Amino acid sequence: MTVPVKLDHIGVAIRDLERGRETYERLGFALTPRSIHRGSPTPGSPVIPFGSGNHCAMFHQGYLEVVGLTDPTIFSNVKSLVTRYEGAHIVAFGVASADRTYTTLSSRGIPIQPARQLERDAAYGPTGSETRRAAFRNMYFEPTAYPESRLLYIEHLTRDVLWQPHLLDHPNGVLALSDIFLCAAEARVTADKYALLFGVAARPMLEGEWRIDLAHGHVWIITPAAWARRTPDFATPPLPAPAGMGFKVRNVAATRTCLARSGIKLHDSPDGGVWIGPEQACGAAIHFSEH
């Protein structure tokens, strides 16, 4: 049995959450008000306040999470991430049922943890005057088996609280989260591993690149050499890691204009889209394209 999954969200982890908010608003993302995390540190444990928070950019499909520390003295999953590097870390895939997915994957020997409850308060309504609880159930994969990212499957319990219609319009014209680029030295082996996880073949693309097409979104597995060909001027985080993320926009020309107004340096890509280097996006390379 194959569990159908979608690329749900990518989380960029930053030591200073306020700096992250300012950076991504400058890049043309309309962010939600700050929300503080609560959750179970381990499966089955009580829900407690975490020392981290986020701002999200919600799209018609998927979303971007800008996550950072708010109180370094208490528990937070973000601490270990930013200690390693600032940039894209969290790669989440959406499923309809966490429990059914866990049963299916664990029966196949996939090293996934049972679901744990997470929640946070979120501003609700066009004026943000209400507050409602956003709740979800996360299943994390063992990092030794999937070191390429903070990999998880997520079941949303309150989709209406997150995907509010007034949050879906962005100055940069983004419509959807479309791609995650995982860079790994053993890319062929890694591509086979993720193909087995998703039950979807990894298609060879250019030399050193494989792509897995999901119900929504694409997972790219790419060698360091192939990544350097795509983005020759970009620094990379410690590998393996998510080196970049891609967004579908309404009109690339309009996106260019929006970013140029903010003084963002752009790099052309062969598909007619544009790249933004990680030094301008808190460590995460970003690709904008109409495709």
Q: Do 158 and 251 fall within a single domain?
A: no
User: Each residue of 260-274: pLDDT tens digit?
Assistant: 999 999 999 999 999
List the Cα angle 152/157/161 in 5-degree steps.
110
Q: Are 162 and 182 contained in the same domain?
A: no
* Integer CA distances (angstroms), 96 to 120, 157, 256, in order: 20, 10, 36
Residue 23 confidence class, pLDDT cut points 50, 70, 90? very high
- Strand 241-249 to strand 285-289: parallel, antiparallel, or no bridges (unpaired)? parallel
Are 171 and 255 contacting, i.e. CB atoms less than 8 angstroms apart?
A: no
Same domain, 146 and 13: yes
Q: How far is CA 48 from CA 51, 53, 120, 127, in A?
A: 10, 13, 11, 28
SS3 84: helix
Mean pLDDT computed over every residue of the chain: 94
pLDDT of 37 reads: 85
Confirm whether 233 is domain-assigned: yes
In this model, does residue 1 exceed pLDDT 80? Answer: no
pLDDT value at residue 188? 97
Distance CA 212, CA 202 (A): 5
Q: Is it the case that residue 181 has pLDDT exceeding 60?
A: yes
Claim to verify: residue 200 and residue 114 sit in the same structural domain: no
Residue 4 pLDDT grade (very low, low, confident, very high; cuts 50, 70, 90): confident
Same structural domain, 262 and 158: no
- Averaged pLDDT for residues 215-230: 97
The pLDDT, as a whole number, for residue 261 is: 96
pLDDT of residue 217 exceeding 80, the answer is: yes
Q: Are residues 184 and 248 in the same domain?
A: yes
One domain, residues 136 and 267: no
Distance CA 59, CA 167 (A): 8
Q: What is the CATH number of the domain that holds 276?
A: 3.10.180.10
- 1 belongs to a structural domain: no
Structure tokens at 31: 């962010």
Q: How far apart are CA 90 and CA 83, in angstroms?
A: 14
Write phi, then psi, for 237 (nearest 5 degrees): -75, 170
Instruction: Tell me what the mean pLDDT of segment 60-64 comes to.
Output: 98
Q: Is the pLDDT of residue 238 over 80?
A: yes
The most distant pair of C-alpha atoms in the chain lies apart, rounded to whole Å, by: 52
Q: Which pLDDT belongs to residue 246?
A: 98
Task: Using a pLDDT cut of 70, give the percent of the chain over it.
Answer: 99
What letters, b where the CB count within 10 A reaches 16 and e where it falls short, cover 114-129?
Answer: ebbbbbbbbbbeeeee
Tokens standing for 60?
Answer: 């018609």
Tokens linked to 145:
């088996």
Q: At 193, which helix (H) or strand (E)?
A: helix 187-198
Domain containing 66 equals 6-167
Q: If you ran DSSP here, which 8-state letter would residue 229 be given?
A: H
Domain closes at, from 104, 133, 167:
167
Is residue 69 domain-shared with residue 95, that is, in the same domain?
yes
Q: What pLDDT sits at residue 134?
A: 92
Q: Is pLDDT at 126 greater than 70 in this prediction?
A: yes
Q: 271-286, pLDDT tens digit by residue?
A: 999 999 999 999 999 9
Is the backbone peptide bond immediately before 240 cis, with ω within 30 degrees of 0?
Answer: yes
99 and 14 within one domain: yes
